[in-house]
Amino acid sequence: MTKTTKNWLYAIFLIIAVLFPQIGKAQIFESKTGVDTLTFAERISLRTNAVDWTLLTPNLGVEFDVKSTNWNRWAVGLTLKTKWNTPATFKNRVFWLI
């Protein structure tokens, strides 16, 4: 890259930083003294495991936050998982799911 090209790139980055200052402020933590509370809808969340989906084991879970604060999280959840297209011709023995 030539020196003039680098200068133009620096100028463009400077213009973007001046015109859009909110991008840089997105990483600044707010220092509020109050407690943030969550609504009932914000306390429910869906979850899944992408590794299981790649191994053809579909799963889906639901979690509910016990407390209504966003800074201390205790959740109760239920996850459903299935193995599809699996033959069920095994004898009744103890087996391990890995």
Query: Mean pLDDT by 10-residue block, N- to C-terminus, for the chain (98 residues)?
Result: 78 74 55 71 89 87 87 86 72 63
Element (H, E) at 11: helix 3-19
93 φ/ψ angles, rounded to the nearest 5 degrees: -135, 175
d(CA 69, CA 37): 5
CB contact burial 44-61 (16+ within 10 A = b; e otherwise) = eeeeeeeeeeeeeeeeee
pLDDT of residue 2: 76
Q: Give pLDDT, residue 96.
A: 66
pLDDT at 14: 76
Strand ranges inside the chain, DSSP E: 44-47, 59-65, 75-81
Question: CA-CA distance, 93 to 42, in Å (whole number)?
Answer: 43
> Given this model, what pLDDT does residue 78 score?
92
Is 0.75 topped by the overall pTM? Answer: no
